[in-house]
Amino acid sequence: MVALAACGTTEDDRPATLRYVTESILAPSCGEAQCHSTFKQSLGDVFDTVVGARQSLHRNGLALYSDRTNAADAELIHWVTDDKPFNRTDPQGNIIGRMPWDAPLPNADIDLMKKWIAAGVPGAQCVPEDYGGQDCNLNAVVECDSEGNYGATVMACSGATPTCVCDGSSNTCGCKAQ
């Protein structure tokens, strides 16, 4: 075991893409059957498929962050680094703690997710095909600036023009099908 544990010497040059992050990190660590699998979809988040992860990022604004110089401020990163990150409760009323719930993530995986988010979450842009060729999820969370204009580069549409609303309460964004 010790000899096996000594494996790995290369600096982290893994692809910072949605597909890689989903299949290598999110699916095995967060997409377990009883958690964020397609089977359970705990609190609406699905991390065991690329399409599910992309939709979950949109619906819940998990890759958005207020400080554009700090990818660690994204909600997804808070979930895997902070204790009781948002004081949110599950359906039973219990405060939801740090994720993953059953085993910690390696620091290198968290760093790769930060790198991916800082690069604009490549691969996570809204794709109408995810929604059966229809407009993208109209409840996607969008980043809004102080003037109420969307600055949705993080959750931009793929090959489509985003139609966003920044009214201070809903801050929603959709992508028109081509």
Q: How many residues bind another protein (CB under 8 A)?
A: 49
DSSP state of 150: B
Q: Tokens 């409840």 — which residue?
A: 139
22 is a contact residue toward another protein (CB under 8 A): yes
40 is a contact residue toward another protein (CB under 8 A): yes
171 is a contact residue toward another protein (CB under 8 A): no
Q: Which is nearer to another protein, 97 or 133 (CB)?
A: 97
CB of 50 to another protein, least distance (A): 5
Task: Name the 3-class secondary structure at 162.
Answer: strand
1 is a contact residue toward another protein (CB under 8 A): yes
Q: How far apart are CA 123 and CA 26, in angstroms?
A: 14
Q: Which residues of 99-122 are buried (b: 16+ CB within 10 A; e: fewer)?
A: bbeeeebeeebbebbbebbbeebe
Amino acid letter, 149: N
Task: Please pick, from the candidates 86, 88, 97, 170, the single residue that binds another protein as defined by CB under 8 A.
Answer: 97
| H or E stretch at 172 | strand 172-175
List residues binding another protein (CB under 8 A). 1, 4-5, 7-12, 14-15, 17, 19-20, 22-25, 28, 32-34, 37-44, 48-51, 83-84, 97-98, 100-109, 123
